[in-house]
Amino acid sequence: MKNCTIAPLGEEHILEIARLEAVCFSSPRPEEALRAELANDTAVFFTALCEGAVAGYAGMHCILDECDIDNIAVFPAYRRQGIAGALLDALEDYARAHGASFLTLEVRVSNMPAIRLYRGKGYQEVGARPNYYNKPREDALLLTKYL
């Protein structure tokens, strides 16, 4: 993660995050939905900035002692540089510091790079969600990490 930092997501990052969503996800969230997260008390979002440019982002929602990771996305030009792992670490650090007992997430069963990342960080498969994703329709693995 050379010349990159992890910072809280701000209004100044929204346009690039919306563009990143369109690159990475078949059902990207619109700018307005991303902007609304800035005012959501349960939302925690970080961005990876490499030499000032948005390289990726990650977000989760925490309620009581549970945090649910929504998305981790990295622009293709910045992949395989440890950015997704650093973003995941930032979410975990935040969760620990705020008293969370565990984090959970869904991941497409075909997304082997993400599955390897999560398993490497200690996430365990606890179930599946049939037909969880659309475009294309696909099952999700449900992964959890206890803190």
The whole-model pTM stands at 0.96
Catalytic residue among 57, 118, 123, 133: 118
Cβ–Cβ < 8 Å for 139, 130: yes
Instruction: State yes or no: is 12 an active-site residue.
Output: no
Residue 126 predicted with pLDDT over 90: yes
Strands 66-74 and 102-108: parallel
The pLDDT assigned to 2 comes to 81
For residue 20, give the 3-state DSSP assignment: helix
Cβ–Cβ < 8 Å for 100, 66: yes
Q: What is the pLDDT of residues 65-79, one digit of tens each?
A: 999 999 999 999 999
Instruction: State yes or no: is 118 an active-site residue.
Output: yes
Quick one: average pLDDT of 122-128? 98
CATH architecture of the domain with range 4-146: 3-Layer(aba) Sandwich (3.40)
Quick one: average pLDDT of 34-46? 97
Percent of the residues in the chain that have a pLDDT greater than 90, as a whole number: 97
Catalytic residue among 78, 106, 123, 133: 106
The pLDDT assigned to 110 comes to 97
Q: Hey, where are the domains in the chain?
A: 4-146
Quick one: average pLDDT of 112-140? 96
